[in-house]
Amino acid sequence: MQTLLAPATLEDFIRLLRAWRFWVLGALLGGLLGSVLYLINPPDYRARATVVVSFNMEKSWPNKPDNELFYYLERESRKLVEVAWSDTTLEKVSAQTNLTISTLRSSGMLELSQPKDGAWHFYASDPSDKTAAKIAAAWAEAFTNQVHDAIQSSISLDAAHKALEKNPTDTSLQAMIKNLEGKSLAITPELQISYSQGTELPAERKTSLGIQALAGAVSLLTLAGLAILFLPAAQLARPGGKKQK
């Protein structure tokens, strides 16, 4: 008797090909089951809002070699990612959607896709397409406003540092600088950001009917093929107990 880990033989493949009706039927049933499951329990809608980010590396990091520019881009991108998931940003989203910050963070409802310098996509998922669009728009808007405020604070911080150089003992300037350092979030003032898509956001199912039907068909097709390979050969005998030759 062959063991489970024994290598497949030519006879095994012949058995598989002879039973083609069985695994084709399995694929059809799998596609049908996947479609029925989709109709009974459809996947959530996912909406996307877009924010355009430009780091202006030529101005903020001039005359630097390419490897240092990539390092600068990576560092500044990580800062913005932290802003997107910060308490302050999600508090604004929570206020508009009546969802808790822990729900926004841990439920997989929010997804961020960003190509560093370019369009940042803010995704939100929900059983309702309108709710998904509302959450995505609120998240992108809160992020944009937060970064805008940080840029303005960075500009004011630079001006305060220049003023302090002329008046190094000015305590009011020192207090202002300390306050602005927290608000600037260490974001470069050369950064430019704009809220590109925030109204009438597209919302589609996270998985289409065709994809789910295909997944069901492939799953049962695989199971049917494995069942044929591991069934005892006697199960494929002709009526009367004689095996096929």
How do the domains of the chain map onto residue ranges? 45-205
Q: Report pTM.
A: 0.71
pLDDT mean over 145-159: 87
Higher pLDDT, 113 or 11: 113
**The two structure tokens encoding residue 106:** 């841990």
Q: E strands within 23-173?
A: 45-54, 110-113, 118-126
**The two structure tokens encoding residue 117:** 């310098």
Q: How far apart are CA 23 and CA 43, in angstroms?
A: 28
Nearest residue to 48 via CA among 163, 136, 126: 136
Model pLDDT for residues 31-85, shown as the tens digit of each residue: 888 788 877 877 888 999 999 998 877 666 666 666 667 787 888 889 899 999 9
Assess whether pLDDT exceeds 90 at residue 209.
Answer: no
pLDDT mean over 186-194: 85
Our CA angle for 219, 224, 229, nearest 5°, is: 130
Angle between helix 129-166 and 66-84 (nearest 10): 120
Contacts of residue 41, Cβ cutoff 8 Å, sequence gap at least 6: none
pLDDT mean over 2-18: 62
Q: Which amino acid is at 235?
A: Q
For 11-40, give one letter per residue: b (16+ CB within 10 A) or e: ebeebbeebeeebeebbeebbebbbeebee
Length of the chain: 245
Higher pLDDT, 163 or 91: 91
Q: How far apart are CA 123 and CA 107, in angstroms?
A: 13
